[in-house]
Chain A
Amino acid sequence: MDVILFLIFAIIAVVCAINVVVQTHPISSAISLVGVMGSLAVLYLLLGAEFIAAAQVIVYAGAIMVLFVFVIMLLNAGAESKKGRSFMVQLLGVPLLIGLLVLLGWFVQRLYPAGASMHFGGFQGGTARDVGRALFGPYLLPFEVTSILVLIAIVGAIVLARKEMD
């Protein structure tokens, strides 16, 4: 059952990710990216990360992607043109990408030859309670620094996007 669930949502994620890259219209890419994030949320649930799965759906698929779609609509972004592609990227891009993938795959195989495996319910420590305890215990300082970062981002976004007032 776990294998079937994993395979279904892994295939959805990979197909949507390929769609993000090959679609020429940004809005199609954005919708495909929502698909990737949704299937990743299911995989998080499978791994016992309940809080992270909920945050993935709310923050990523909800807030961030709405922001993207909003900007795409606002700028009325059309399909991109094919011309003007860099020659070096055309020539070296695909071989280097395959090299990266082979390297990562080799590393994963070296790390986990065959032994380790997961089943649903094998890790129960990912509830909101556990995450909250860790967040306000050993991770309190990074959490507070993050709040300052978000404040700076809000102010920066307003300053960048406002109309110039004379």
Chain B
Amino acid sequence: MSEVPIAWFLTLSAVLFALGVAGFLFRRNIITVFMSIELMLNAVNLSFVTFSYQLKQVNGHLFTFFVMVVAAAEAAVGLAIILTIYKNRGTLNIDEVDSLKN
């Protein structure tokens, strides 16, 4: 047996996505929450490339490419926002950044 079932790739993608959601829910550090989002984007990218293989079309690679570009832009802006939050409040804990709550 030398062939890998397509379902294994998709299952790996699902596991990585669930782990990203876990990090997003359970972690309190804003940088780690941000990294969990990157993990989820990576998991979805794996699904895109797998479907591209399955359908023998290059379109999935293009979607992955666009996701990468958007992730890079998002990381730049998000980390700038994190810097500003830290400058103004002196904390990285997302529970202490709750101005909109009251």
Contact = CB atoms under 8 A, between A and B. Distances in A.
A68 B69 contact: no
Interface in B16-43: 16-23, 25-29, 31-32, 34-36, 38-39, 42
Interface residues of A, number: 81
Contact of B49 (A2, A44, A135): A44
B61 A52 contact: yes
Interface residues of B, number: 71
A75 B92 contact: yes
Given A40-B46, A55-B68, A74-B83, A33 B39 contact: yes
B49 A71 contact: no
A80 B32 CA distance: 10
Given A64-B71, A80-B27, A125 B56 contact: yes
25 contacts: A13-B12, A14-B19, A20-B23, A36-B42, A37-B42, A40-B46, A49-B49, A49-B53, A60-B71, A72-B31, A74-B83, A75-B86, A75-B92, A77-B31, A81-B93, A84-B28, A101-B14, A108-B7, A108-B14, A112-B5, A135-B62, A149-B73, A153-B72, A156-B76, A161-B83
